[in-house]
Amino acid sequence: MKFYFFTLSALFFLTTSCVEKTESFTRETIVLKKDWRFSKGSHPDAIHKSFDDSQWEKVNIPHDWAIYGPFNKEIDKQEVAIAQNNETTATEKTGRTGALPYIGEAWYRNEFTLPNLNKNKKILIQFDGAMSEPEVFINGEKVGEWKYGYAYFYFDITEYVHKENNTISVKINNREKSSRWYPGAGLYRNVHLIVKEKESIAHWGTFITTPLITKEEAKINIKTKVNGEQIKLVTKIYDADGIEIARQEATQMFSNEFDQNISVSDPNLWSPDSPYLYTAKIQLYANNELKDETTSRFGIRSIDFSAENGFRLNGKKTKFKGVCLHHDLGPLGAAVNKSALRRQLRILKDLGVNAIRSSHNMPSIEQLELCNEMGFLFLAESFDEWKVPKVKNGYNLYFDDYAEKDIVNLVHATRNHPSIVMWSSGNEVPDQWGNEGVKRAKWLQDIFHREDPTRPVTVGMDQVEAVMQNGFGAIMDIPGLNYRVHLYEDAYKKFPQGFILGSETASTVSSRGIYKFPVEKASMKQYEDFQSSSYDMEYCSWSNLPDEDFILQDDKDWVLGEFVWTGFDYLGEPTPYDEAWPSRSSYFGISDLAGLPKDRYYLYRSRWNTKDETLHILPHWNWEGREGETTPVFVYTSYDQAELFVNGKSQGIRKKTKNGTPQERYRLMWMDVKYEPGTLKVVALDEAGNPVAEKVVKTAGKPHQLALRPETMSLKANGEDLMFVEVSVVDKNGIPCPTAQHQLNFEVTGKGSFRAVCNGNPTSLELFHLPSMKLFNGKLVVLIQSSEEVGAITLKVTGENLLSQSVTINSIQE
């Protein structure tokens, strides 16, 4: 069986400024960011314009009300047996949804004017996501409602608005037992007003593909749905430098759609290594008068999946080196922020990641835009639940009425992004059992195919034996296996597609900077401090260590690649401590909740980042009281062999080998090292045994002073940009103190403000938005937010018995 999929990508015309407006000759897009009023609780009269909301909290959108806490084990405490964890007996789960107060009803209100409104105008309001069950009122009239908190949706509000004094009211309702992780709460993504002519391009009405690509030429097909008569369409293509390279006029419509084919000579192809983006400007004329204009960035690339070649991008066989990401941004909660997303992607680029799976929800527009620009393949997921429930008040309540509408909106809103190469219609749905589930799987896949015939569809399947027997796995375009590495061979033989995707892999658990002894492979291991060991030898009852997936990726051509669970820790799902308080966030991340890399980061980097050297030693070398005791040393490196020294004494040479355990194939391990304070050094060797690189870890003295490391030295003065400053403690010689746990305080002055802080500790109950937090194993990260004024911003950090430190950065004009 062979699939060929070709696509180009466009970015829908949206603003990214703070309040405000993007104007063409005929179209205006207003992002309603500022001056919202917010109140938690029931306010049925809030739909009316005359309602007094002057005492409500003033907030900006995007906004997540729950991230401000407090943490409380009683919030959404669930008595449940988690089927995905192979549990058969219900037990109390306290931190499953993050123990943050997302449950309940709340209201948002704002005012807006439309000075250019006239009888020929059409007004739409678009929500990129509202958690959850939003009901929307304009000037006291209900204009619509939606259910799914992750869905994009819009309403035509033309008949409800006036030129001035318009009031929008949005009711939000989050039910208990509605999620398996922290979902966030409120208007956590952007809200847009679109003002255009009635004769206009339909909302999400443009679909750009490339049915033919050669070295000399790319055929760009642009389908554009429009409203109007006696009209023509003019499309202009610009290269990355803004130079017009092609144009075409069209007057022939098929029903309400133009279908254009435009040639681009010597095309620059989009890929993770070279994410080249073109721009299409599409203009609609009626009686030679310009009526509408949209501008879309897009990338030219081809994709195909086949048993012979696996996955090919632009004709080149490519394996997915992917991670799964939840939608929360750690200390920011669910509130989308483009600079925070950009930081995540920079970290993943250094790791060598080339692909992302949105888990288990529809991605933000901002995330997709950045993946287009920075070069990431994307698996866009839709649902975690179909008709059969995982949680009492989950998507099962809406499936019959909303599944098709939600898929249509997902596809129409995002199908033009070059990063998206696959759709997923679900994750570990209980519907994998039984004939009805097979029918649902095909029904959903057919909707995706109808709306976008250029991309395949997958499902993350964890009930592998069931889907091999009942036909569920056989009907999927891409059979995606979640874990179950021991069943890959059987599934490959059983399924007709000729390939398998590791749609979710590993679920290895660790806590940054925590090391447990003795070092041994263990499943669901628990300790008194509710942490997991960063020797990366602990995993979950349903999962495995990374090395077992590496073997499948390296040895089986028919394995398309993997999406590791997860790239970053996230709020909720604190396995293996689901029943332990105060565990309230995950241990799965390759990086922690603050974005700081765990040791496992370098294990993946040693395989995935093929451009840069990796040479990393663990554990740290501060073990007072363990003198003379066995303290194993691991090295994660892109080199095949290395020699280890303790205080100048060789501990021998280790070499990666296929003849030993999976760990011996990918890690260098010295299991019998005896701890003595001083210097730990590893020297990497080439094939001839010559030294080519070295890394040193030293025992630190007493904590002496703070060290601040901002990512850059400037912020954009837009009121949204964030600076992430890593704070650590060093001794008097500048050696990092890996066990420091000091309480620190933060003060920001100048043209910015303190936004949040995070130390990556999954058991910490300190609130992210307060300017004080304890170090976790010597580190934490402070977030500074710009204002709309240009000038200096200074962060000062203090801690008891430590020399304080300050850093000054500049807020500059965008």
Which residues are known catalytic residues? Answer: 428, 504
- Rounded distance, CA 583 to CA 506, Å? 21
Q: What's the distance, CA 175 to chain centroid?
A: 24
- What amino acid is encoded at 217 in this protein? E
- The β-bridge partners of 572 are none
Dihedral of alpha carbons 520, 543, 563, 329, sign: negative
- Rounded distance, CA 505 to CA 524, Å? 16
Helix (H) or strand (E) holding 636: strand 633-637
In the sheet where 668-670 sits, what is the strand order?
615-618, 633-637, 668-670
691 upstream amide cis, omega within 30 of 0: no
Among candidate residues 219, 205, 326, the one with its CA nearest the CA of residue 265: 219
The 3-state DSSP composition of the chain as helix, strand, coil percent (nearest 5) reads 15, 40, 45
From residue 384, alpha-carbon distances to 21, 420, 558, 811 in Å are 35, 19, 26, 41
- What amino acid is encoded at 298 in this protein? F
Q: At what angle do helices 338-351 and 365-374 cross, to 10 degrees?
A: 40
Dihedral of alpha carbons 350, 353, 354, 359, sign: negative
Q: Give the 3-state secondary structure of residue 500.
A: strand
Do the Cβ atoms of 361 and 384 come closer than 8 Å?
A: yes
> Counting every residue, how long is the chain?
814
Where does residue 571 rank: exposed (0-12), middle (13-18), buried (19+ CB within 10 A)? buried
- Rounded distance, CA 620 to CA 697, Å? 7
Where does residue 153 rank: exposed (0-12), middle (13-18), buried (19+ CB within 10 A)? buried
The pair of structure tokens assigned to 341 is: 């997303």
- Can you spell out the DSSP letters for 446-510? HHHHHH-TTS-EEEEE--HHHHHHHSHHHHSSEEEEES-GGGHHHHHHHSSSS-EEEEEEE-B--
**Quick one: DSSP state of residue 683?**
E
From residue 424, alpha-carbon distances to 235, 302, 793 in Å are 32, 19, 43
Among candidate residues 206, 99, 113, 231, the one with its CA nearest the CA of residue 161: 113
Among candidate residues 261, 251, 259, the one with its CA nearest the CA of residue 228: 251
- What amino acid is encoded at 112 in this protein? F
On the CB side of 95, CA atoms within 13 Å amount to 25
Beta strands at 679-685 and 668-670: parallel, antiparallel or unpaired: unpaired
- The β-bridge partners of 153 are 127
- Rounded distance, CA 157 to CA 112, Å? 13
Among candidate residues 712, 703, 710, 649, the one with its CA nearest the CA of residue 681: 649
Among candidate residues 622, 621, 505, the one with its CA nearest the CA of residue 566: 505
Do the Cβ atoms of 623 and 787 come closer than 8 Å?
A: no
In the sheet where 805-812 sits, what is the strand order?
714-716, 805-812, 791-799, 743-750, 772-774
- The β-bridge partners of 650 are 645
Q: What's the distance, CA 50 to chain centroid?
A: 40
- What amino acid is encoded at 359 in this protein? S
- Rounded distance, CA 569 to CA 95, Å? 14
Q: At what angle do helices 599-608 and 338-351 cross, to 10 degrees?
A: 60
Helix (H), strand (E), coil (C) string for 326-377: CCCCHHHCCCCCHHHHHHHHHHHHHHCCCEEEECCCCCCHHHHHHHHHHCCE
